Amino acid sequence: MPFDIGFFELCLVAIIGLLVLGPERLPVAARAIGRWVGKARRTFSSFKQDIDRELQIDELRQQIKQQQAQMEAFMQRDVMDETPQELEQKIAATRAEFDSQKQLQENTIAPEPVEPDESSGCADPVEYEPLPRNTDKPSPSN
């Protein structure tokens, strides 16, 4: 609030207004003053909104100009303008990075292979007990 008016100040203004204007004209004057204050607030608020809107429009225009400049710079950059030497350097750098990553993966410690067990013949034998055979039922081959 632009004005710091307390209850005591409002009472003082009301008493002075009552003494100066009298009881018949005080309500009419209070309404008129209220209208003027309301109109001034609306005008100030409208002015403030217009300024804020203009500032936002200016910011958007600046962003659009920056983006247009970036797009123009990107469109002017052409891969075909690069010399073959630059392209070969980029290819060599990419290959070197790929080879170093490949070498790094090959040098990681791999688990040692398990030799097959002589009895099972497979690399990872699983111990199990054979299922019991049911000899009471006839075989389906009959």
pLDDT digits (tens, 9 = 90+) for 65-87: 999 998 888 777 765 666 778 88
Mean pLDDT score of the chain, rounded to an integer?
Answer: 80
Average pLDDT of span 52-57: 96
Query: For residue 17, which of 6, 28, 7 has the smallest C-alpha distance?
Result: 28
* pLDDT at residue 128, rounded to an integer: 60
The dihedral over CA atoms of 14, 19, 24, 25, expressed in degrees to the nearest 10, equals -70
* pLDDT at residue 75, rounded to an integer: 78
The dihedral over CA atoms of 131, 137, 141, 142, expressed in degrees to the nearest 10, equals 170
Residue 56 has pLDDT above 60, yes or no: yes
* pLDDT at residue 86, rounded to an integer: 82
For the chain, the residue count is 142
| HSE, side-chain direction, 13 A CA sphere, residue 47 | 6
* pLDDT at residue 7, rounded to an integer: 85
Residue 35 has pLDDT above 80, yes or no: yes
15-31 pLDDT, tens digit each: 888 888 888 888 888 89
90-122 pLDDT, tens digit each: 899 999 999 998 888 887 765 565 555 555 555
Query: For residue 3, which of 33, 36, 26, 37 has the smallest C-alpha distance?
Result: 37
